[in-house]
Amino acid sequence: MKTIDKLLSEKMMTLVRSNSQSEGQALADAIVEAGVKVIEITLTTPGAHKIIEKLLKNKDLLVGAGTVRTVKEVKKMEDIGVSFIVSPNTNEDVIAATKKLNLVSLPGVSTPSEVAIAEESGADILKLFPATILGPDHLKMLREPFPGNRWCPTAGITLDSIPKWFQAGADLVGLGGPVTKDGVSGVSKNVLAFRNAINEASKVVYRHEVSQ
């Protein structure tokens, strides 16, 4: 399965952002043990590249790098072996470098201008960021003048908001703190709760589309 197809199939991109390599590794391991097949390790996490290298040993796992802000970082992550690149911002050079290296590009966008730049630069999936501040209605309005894009709202997604995001047009959601907020011991429970909420929301949206 192609990287982009697996991302869209999973509908959930779980990310790790931590203040230490040991905690980051422990959270990543717990996420994988909970059955997650797509994981993003943010480069702000100490020792992120080592965590990524360890995760890549699992051939059933799709691993990406997050908070990628420079072309140099893109190239380094490609050398390590990641499949997708996630950024908090819209950087034409980062998107171009990502696509040149045949990686999937997920730049952060929040405004119509940023969406236009990301779209023209060849981004694969648009990461609506920060989702908790912008809200589902913002996504709805952005989709109208920019149809045909794939969307991944990220930051501050809650269980209660999942149905609203998918009804607004999200293809998948980025989950960091909502999954890891309770520490390693709470990861499995949170992953299961979000997985169930996403599956149910997706069914409702699908039934609505079929009935149109």
Q: Do 143 and 166 touch, CB atoms closer than 8 A? A: no
The proportion of the chain whose per-residue pLDDT surpasses 70, expressed as a percent, equals: 96
Average pLDDT score over the chain: 94
Q: Is 78 a catalytic residue?
A: no
pLDDT digits (tens, 9 = 90+) for 135-190: 999 999 999 999 999 999 999 899 999 999 999 999 999 999 999 999 999 999 99
Dig out the tokens for 8 from the structure.
């869209």
Q: Is 40 a catalytic residue?
A: yes
Name the catalytic one among 11, 78, 114, 127: 127
Query: pTM higher than 0.85, yes or no?
Result: yes
Name the catalytic one among 40, 73, 78, 114: 40
SS3 114: helix
pLDDT level of residue 204 (50, 70, 90 thresholds): low
